[in-house]
Amino acid sequence: MEQTYVMIKPDGVQRGLIGEIVSRIEQKGLRIVAMEMRMITDDIARRHYAEHVEKDFFKFLIDFITSSPVVCMVVEGENAVAAMRMMSGATDPKDASVGTIRGDFGLDVGRNLIHTADSLESAEREITIHFTGDEMVEYTRAEETWVYE
């Protein structure tokens, strides 16, 4: 099973969308193996967004992601990275399809509710930034025999 990193950003938390987003993940058939609400520190934010350090919007990213609590998750399932990217929708909500998280709830690219790793390599890097192995719980959902062949 593939693992990916997912974060409900400050706007998702402040708008009361945690339950809706978690519900969509579970309804898809993916398994949440680690989840924690926390404040992201400046150091963690800089490590998380390191690939954007030279971009004009870097300071905005850091200020935003550290402004309010977030919900960090490790999500597991077959093709979890691609599944979460599809469920999240395009980065800019105006380009996101109806039925995706950003398409249904987002209006602004700077307030797009959710972060999902864009590749398996990014997922592995981001998971190690936000979690140690101790927080992850291995289990099987009873319904998985109805999700996977």
Q: Could you list the active site residues?
A: 115
Residue entry with tokens 């999902």: 116
Which tokens go with 23? 């519900």
Q: Which residues, including other chains, have CB under 8 Å from residue 147's CB and lie 6 or more apart?
A: 29
Phi first, then psi: what are they for 118, rounded to 5°? -95, -5
Please calculate the CA angle 131-133-137 and round it to the nearest 5 degrees.
100
Residue entry with tokens 């909500």: 93
Which tokens go with 15? 């708008």
The whole-angstrom separation of Cα 26 and Cα 75 is 9
Q: Which residues pair with 6 in a beta bridge?
A: 73, 116
